[in-house]
Amino acid sequence: MSDVVIKNGRIIDGSGNPWYKADIAIEDGVIRDIGKIDGSGDIEIDARGKYVCPGFIDMHSHPDLTLFYKKVQDYKLRQGVTTEVGGNCGFTAAPLNPSTRDALRKYMAFITPPSGVNWNWQTFDQYLQAVEDSHPSTNLVFLVGQGTVRIAAMGFEQRPPTDSEILYMESLVKEAMESGAFGLSTGLVYVPGAYSETSEIIRLAKVSADYGGFYATHMRNEGDKLLDSVREAIDIGISGGLPVQISHHKATGKLNHGRVSDSLSMLVEARNNGLDVTLDQYPYIAGSTTLQAVLPPWAQEGGVEDVVQRLETFDIRCKIRSEILANKGESRMGGDLGDILITTLATELNQRFIGLTIKEISELRGQEYIDTILDLLKEEQCAVGMVVFSMAESDVRVVMSHPYTMIGSDGLYSPGNPHPRIYGTYPRVLGKYVREEGLFSLEEGVRKMTSFPAQRLGLHSKGLLKPGGDADIVVFDAKTVIDKSTFRDPHQYPLGIEYVLVNGVISVDEGEFTGNTAGRVIRSTQLS
């Protein structure tokens, strides 16, 4: 007798192959058999007319601190996500250096739950243990963030590292990889990544390579210098001797829309020349990050307190103001300044502005857009989250259709007004882009969410429905699956995701969260 039997479903195995009809028997968290199952299970799920596929792997996620926020844990599960990759864009919660820990905490305040994070770790290993002890709802794998490593070594200083500082950074990446990180991530548009030269990144990428890790990058510039940034990522892959994952690939800023065709051609050429390069994407025309990122990197040197002091100093504020305004009304992250939507604010003072655009807030405050932005950063000690409308829908479609593209939500949960991708990414791809627009087949959509990211990560027991594989499974209705979360009303669960099993445990039952949190931390050191 099995623990769970899923009967009569159409199996999409994750490989991209067409679906077939079969039953699945699950025992002790593992798929025991696929075929005609005669015996029954403790629990039986009738999947007649539904599709059964591997649990989705969120290739690009930011659960690092929000996973400690225990009030809501089901926004990923209810999309069908069973494994998430944290530590992206250069930011991880570890390793910490006690002397710079507060600087990192303040910088990450916009994605930190108001309570529940005690930061009582120092090494990467201790952080992974803290995550394990928190009983996460999804399986979690982590990259180590170059930004966090650099902050530990030298704070927010805009200069090359000394010899001893680069050696210290290498030792931190080494500790992370030996503890089970899957690779190194960068966020080179953010500080302190923006202060790092390519050669510095290559030094750290080589450490990741020594342990079989890969290099994931939020590139230096996704706008005017998109192609230079792709070139840099390719060079780091070649010189570092490791595979490259381009994060949330896009072209930002109106004048750059359409350039993803050129960037994708460069990636095809790099692959043809022997570099294992892949990419991920979220299915929206807007991104989301810290509002602080609209400031020029020089104005962010030294950390949050220094930034606030600059915003309070008349001459420097004028310089920041004119530099931002010189960019034709768009921010350095792309998108019109007035269209920026505020997702989170730290203080009680400004809570009423959450969910409004800079244009709307400026009208309420009787200010110009730029002054609203600079004042919010000042008043909130930079702990402000934003959504920025920076992309073209046609580019989203071009990138998504590419065979190198896998799906990653880039989701940042907050109880405020988060980007809808935190609730809707996977159902949106399956409902809008597969069913409604016919961009590719259901099987191809599932491949981009399952076996492809599993291959990138080396998670050979996940991403494919096969006997002996981990029982991370989704049962969904292809006729109804769709996202419901919107930019103005984000806290909405999707439709059509009916059952989700994590390690054989039913976490979503008839569309509802069961309260089971059966996720585990997966360390790269446990593989093979």
Question: Closer to Zn ion at the Cβ: 187 or 355?
Answer: 187
CA dist 428 to 388, 407, 445, Å? Answer: 19, 11, 11
Taking CB under 5 A as the binding criterion, the range among 215-223, 274-282, 434-442, 468-476 that sits at the site for Zn ion is 215-223
What is the closest distance, in whole angstroms, from the C-beta atom of residue 410 to Zn ion in the complex?
Answer: 6
Minimum distance between the CB of residue 247 and Zn ion, rounded to whole angstroms?
Answer: 5
Residue 218 or residue 310: which is nearer to Zn ion going by CB?
A: 218
Q: Please tell me the distance from the alpha carbon of residue 49 to that of residue 9, in angstroms, as a whole number.
A: 6
In DSSP terms, 436 is beta-bridged to none
Strand-pairing partners, residue 31, are 26
By CB neighbour count within 10 A (0-12 exposed, 13-18 middle, 19+ buried), where does 298 fall? middle
Question: In the sheet where 286-290 sits, what is the strand order?
Answer: 286-290, 384-389, 341-345
Task: Output 32 or 249, the one with its CB closest to Zn ion.
Answer: 249
Q: How far is the CB of 64 from Zn ion (least distance, A)?
A: 13
Sheet holding 183-187, edge to edge: 144-145, 183-187, 214-218, 244-246, 277-281, 405-407
- Angle formed at CA 454 by CA 453 and CA 458, multiple of 5 degrees: 120
- CB of 89 or CB of 388, closer to Zn ion: 89
Chain centroid, CA 510 distance in Å: 27
333 sits near Zn ion (criterion: CB under 5 A): no
Strand 473-476, strand 497-502: pairing: antiparallel
Q: Which stretch binds Zn ion (CB under 5 A): 73-81, 166-174, 214-222, 428-436?
A: 214-222
Closer residue to Zn ion in complex, CB, 245/524: 245
Which residue, 218, 361, 231, is CA-closest to 290? 218
- Contact between 218 and Zn ion per CB under 5 A: yes
Binding to Zn ion (CB under 5 A) within 16-35 occurs at none
C-beta of 91: minimal distance to Zn ion in Å?
A: 9
- SS3 letters across 239-268: HHCCCEEECCCCCCCHHHCCCHHHHHHHHH
333 or 429: whose CB is closer to Zn ion?
333
Q: Which of residues 163-192 bind Zn ion (CB under 5 A)?
A: none
Site mask for Zn ion (CB under 5 A), range 61-90, x = bound? ----------------------------x-
- Minimum CB separation from Zn ion for residue 58, in Å? 13
Closest CB 187 distance from Zn ion, rounded Å = 6
The nearer residue to Zn ion, 106 or 218, going by C-beta atoms, is: 218
Using the Cα atoms of residue 60, residue 225, residue 322 and residue 389 in order, give the sign of their dihedral. Answer: negative
CB atoms within 10 A of CB 408: 27
Single out the segment in contact with Zn ion by CB under 5 A; choices: 16-24, 213-221, 430-438, 443-451: 213-221
CB of 331 to Zn ion, least distance (A): 15
Among 365, 467, 495, 524, residue whose Cα is nearest residue 27: 467
Which region among 46-54, 216-224, 230-238, 448-456 touches Zn ion (by CB under 5 A)?
216-224
Nearer residue to Zn ion within complex by CB, 7 or 218: 218
Which three-class secondary structure string do you get for 157-205? CCCCCCHHHHHHHHHHHHHHHHHCCCEEEEECCCCCHHHCCHHHHHHHH
Nearer to Zn ion, 60 or 520 (CB): 60
Q: How many residues bind Zn ion (CB under 5 A)?
A: 2
Beta carbon nearer to Zn ion, 218 or 332: 218
Cβ-based nearer residue to Zn ion, 111 or 449? 111
**Nearest distance from residue 286's CB to Zn ion, in Å?**
13
Q: Give residues 422-481 in contact with Zn ion (rule: CB under 5 A).
A: none
Locate 75 and state its tokens. 């926004």
Rounded to the nearest whole angstrom, what is the least distance from the CB of residue 505 to Zn ion in the complex?
31
Q: How far is the CB of 348 from Zn ion (least distance, A)?
A: 29
Scanning 192-200, 211-219, 294-302, 344-352 for contacts with Zn ion by CB under 5 A, the matching segment is 211-219
C-alpha closest to that of 503 among 2, 15, 29: 29
According to CB under 5 A, which residues from 85 to 124 bind Zn ion?
89
Closest CA to 63 of 49, 43, 48, 82: 82
Min separation Cβ 218 and Zn ion, Å? 3
Q: Which residues of this protein are in contact with Zn ion, per CB under 5 A? A: 89, 218
